[in-house]
Structure 1
Amino acid sequence: MRLPDFEAWAIFACVIEHRSFSAAADAIGVSKATVSKAIARLEASLGTTLFHRTSRRLSLTDSGTALAERAARILAEAQGAEEAARDAATAPAGLVRIAAPITFGIRFVADAVADFLTAHPGIEIDLRLSDARVDIVADGFDIALRIADLPDSSLRARRLAPVTVRVVAAPAYLERHGTPRHPAELGEHPCFGYANAIGTWHFRNGSGEEASVRPSGPLVTDNGDAMLPALCAGLGIARLPDFIVDDQIAAGRLVEILPEWSSGNAIALHLMTPPSPLRPARVEAAIAFLSERFRTLCLAR
C-alpha cells in the first residue's frame, strides 16, 4: 500500500494560505526549492496541475481549488493531533487568523481580541475586517464571524446570538414622504441596498402574515455605517442591524418604521470554522473565548 504524501499536502495548504512559494517556505522554515519539489511531487501523484504560475502571480487551478479544503483539513488535523499529544499543561501558542465584518469588528471584536490576548499571551491574532464574504478555507482563516441567515455549507457553524434588523429613516424624510405602514409600501420609496446581500427583503408579523419587497434606490454600499450619512440626510430608507442604528434612533436622528414586522429570515451572529473537527489548541481557545463573549453579551451595547 502506498501512503499519501502528507508532507506535500501540508505544504500545499501552506502555499494556499501564504499565497506564494517563498512566503510558505519562510513560514515553515524550509527552502523555496523544498516547497517547489513538494508541490511537484503532489502534482505528479495526482496527475494534475495545482497552481497557475507566472513571474508575478500565483493562483489556484480548478483542480487546486477543488482540493484546497481537503489540504487545509489534512494540515489542521495533523496540527491538532500534535498539539493534543503535548503536555496538557502547556499554554496554547501560535497564530489565529480571524475574519469579521467591519462595523461589528470595530465595535465588538477588537475589544474581545484585546481581552483574549491579555488572557493568552502566547497566542497571536491576525484580525481582518471586511464585509465581503470570505472563503475561510481558501483564504486560510481559522475563524470567521458572520451576521447572516446562513445557507447550507460544509463549514462548521455555531449560532452565538440573534441580531435584530430594523427598517429606519430620518424624521425629515418621513415628514416629506410619509411613513410606510406595510412592507409592500417600501416599493414606493427609495431604499438603500447592501451590496453583499442585494435582493428581496422578507418580513413577517406577529400574526404570521408574510410580505416581501424588492427595494431599489440611490445608494448601494457594502457597509452599513456608510449608509448613515445619507440616511440621516433624509435621502431614503434602509434596513440595518440594531447595533448600527440603535444609537442613531436614541439620538432622534433616525426613526424605526414597521416595528411590528420582523425580518423573515433568522439573522444571527455565527462563528464559522473550517469543516475539520480537529483544531490546534490555540484555535480552540479562541473559539471558546469568542463564543462565550458574544453569547453572554448578546450584542448588548
Structure 2
Amino acid sequence: MPMANNPRDAGPLDLANLKRLAYFAAVVETGSFTAAADRLGITKAVVSQQVARLEREFRTTLLTRTTRRLALTDAGQAFYERCARILREAAVAFDELADVSVEPAGTLRLTAPFDYGLAMVVPAVVEFSRRHPQCRVEMALSDQPLDLLSNEVELAVRVGWLADSQLPARRIGSFEQKLVAAPALARQVDAAAGPEQLAGLPFVANAALKEPRRWVFEAGDGRRQAVEFAASISLDATPAGLGWTLPSGGIHAVYPASRFRPAKVARFVDLLGELHAARA
C-alpha cells in the first residue's frame, strides 16, 4: 500500500489507519507493546511497526519510550481519548448486530463478589440456563477482583466503585450502604448528635471495601463527615434519628477490552438487569 504524500490524503475511513487505532489504544491501556500484542493475538513486532508507522505518516510523536516505561505525549493523550471513544462506539455497534443476529452459545465465564453472587448472580445463572440450554456457565465467586484478561473471564460483575475506568462497563443497578447496630448499642446510637460520635462504638470492618474503616456520611443539606472506626465486632440492627446517609454505589457489568462481545454475554447482562429491576 503506497504511503500518502499528505497524511490527510488517507481520509478518515482508511482501513489501515482504523486498525492502527486499536493497536495504539491497546499499547496505552496495557502499558507495553508486548502486553498489547498478547491482548490482540499478534506479534510485538507488528504492533511496534504499526504504531511507529502511524507516528511517521502523521509526523507526530505519540509515545515517549524509555527502557522502563512508555509515556503519552500531549498529542498522544488527545489522540488516545478519541481512539478509545471510536473503539467503544464500534464495539457497541458490533454488540448490537450480534445481539439481533446470533443466538447465545458456548461457555460463559463470569466472576462476581461472593455475597452478591449468591444472592443475585446464581438465580440469574439458573434462569439463563433455562432460557438458553445450549449454553454453559462457569462462575467464580470472589471478593477480590479477578483480572479479566489473564483469567479468560468474559464478564465481571462489580459492586461498588469501578477502579479501572478504561474497561467497557454497563451499570445494571445500585445499592445503598447502611450502618447498623446491635440492640444493645441502640441507646448510644440514638444519643449521638452526629456521625463523629459513633467512632468509639464497636465496629466490624468489611475487608472487601477499599477503605473498610473509613466511612463518609452525608447530611440532607449536602454536608459530608468522614469517620474513622476501629474494627471490633459485628453490628446487626439499624440505628435511627441521625439524619445522615452513606453514599450509594453502583453495580456494573464489566467487559474485557475486546472488539467483539458474544451474544451470550449481552443476553446474560440483560437478564441480570431484569432481575434487578424486578427487585427494586
Alignment TM-score > 0.5, same fold: yes
SS in 2 for 1:160: strand
1:180 aligns with 2:189: yes
1:201 partnered with 2:230: no
Please say if 1:142 is aligned against 2:183.
Answer: no
Q: Do 1:131 and 1:196's aligned partners in 2 also have CA atoms closer than 8 Å?
A: no
SS in 2 for 1:180: helix
Query: CA separation of 1:284/1:262 partners in 2, compared to 1, >3 Å: closer, same or farther?
Result: farther
CA-CA distance at 1:288 after TM superposition = 1.9
Q: CA deviation at 1:188?
A: 2.6
* 2:93 equivalent to 1:111: no
Cα displacement string for residues 63-115 of structure 1 (whole angstroms, at most 9, x for unaligned residues): 45554443233223334445656794323579999886x45554446526744
How much does 1:263 deviate?
A: 1.9
In 1, the alpha carbon distance for the partners of 2:182 and 2:41 equals 57
Query: What residue is the counterpart of 2:62 in the other structure?
Result: 49
- TM-score, normalised on structure 2? 0.60
TM-superposed CA distance for 1:294, in Å, is: 1.7
Name the residue aligned to 2:181.
Answer: 169
Report the TM-score, using the length of structure 1 for normalisation: 0.57
Looking at structure 2, the residues matched to 97 and 59 of structure 1 have their Cα atoms a distance apart, in angstroms, of 32
Question: How big is the shift at 1:8?
Answer: 0.8
AA paired with 2:195?
A: L
How far is the alpha carbon of 1:129 from its aligned partner?
Answer: 5.6
> Structure 2 vs 1, CA of residues 210 and 69 (structure 1 numbering), >3 Å: closer, same or farther?
closer
Which residue does the alignment assign to 2:10? 2
Say which structure is richer in strand: 1
Note the alpha carbon deviations across 1:227-284, whole angstroms, 9 max, x for none: xxx232xxxxxxxxxxxxxxxxxxxx6222116746275x25454779xxx9856464
AA aligned opposite 1:111: V
Name stretches of at least 5 consecutive residues in structure 1 with no aligned partner.
145-157, 220-229, 233-252
Once residues 85 and 58 of structure 1 are traced to their aligned partners in structure 2, the CA distance between those partners, rounded to angstroms, is 38
Higher RCO, Cα 8 Å, sep 6+: 1
Displacement after TM superposition at 1:6 (Å): 1.0
**Match of residue 231 from structure 1:** 233
Matching residue's letter, 2:245 = S
Amino acid at match of 1:189: L
Q: Distance in 2 between matches of 1:214 and 1:170?
A: 22
Change (3 A) 1:133 1:52: farther
**Identity %, equivalent residues:** 23
> Cα 1:164–1:125, aligned 2, differ >3 Å: closer, same or farther?
same
Name stretches of at least 5 consecutive residues in structure 2 with no aligned partner. Answer: 1-8, 138-152
Q: Give, in whole Å, the separation in 2 of the partners of 1:22 and 1:85.
A: 31
The aligned counterpart of 1:35 is: 47
Q: How does 1:1-301 map to 2 (within 5 A)?
A: 1-4=9-12, 5-44=17-56, 45=58, 47-50=60-63, 52-54=65-67, 58-61=69-72, 63=74, 64=76, 66-82=78-94, 88-91=100-103, 102=113, 105-108=116-119, 110-111=121-122, 114-115=125-126, 118=129, 119=132, 121=135, 125-127=154-156, 133-137=162-166, 141-143=167-169, 158=171, 160-161=173-174, 163-172=175-184, 174=185, 178-181=187-190, 184-190=193-199, 195-196=210-211, 198=214, 200-204=216-220, 213-219=225-231, 230-232=232-234, 254-258=236-240, 261=243, 263=245, 267=248, 269-271=250-252, 280=261, 282=263, 284-298=266-280
Per-residue CA distance 1:195-247 (angstroms, 9 max, x = gap): 5595641244xxxx88754423325xxxxxxxxxx232xxxxxxxxxxxxxxx
Partners of 1:271 and 1:106 in 2: CA distance: 13
| CA contact 1:200–1:215 (8 Å) conserved in 2 | yes
Q: How many Å apart are 1:34 and its aligned residue? A: 1.0
- Cα distance, 1:184 vs. partner? 2.7
**Rounded Cα–Cα distance in structure 2 between residues aligned with 1:130 and 1:270:** 5
CA distance in 2, matches of 1:81, 1:15: 23
Contact 2:104 2:135 in 1 (8 A): no
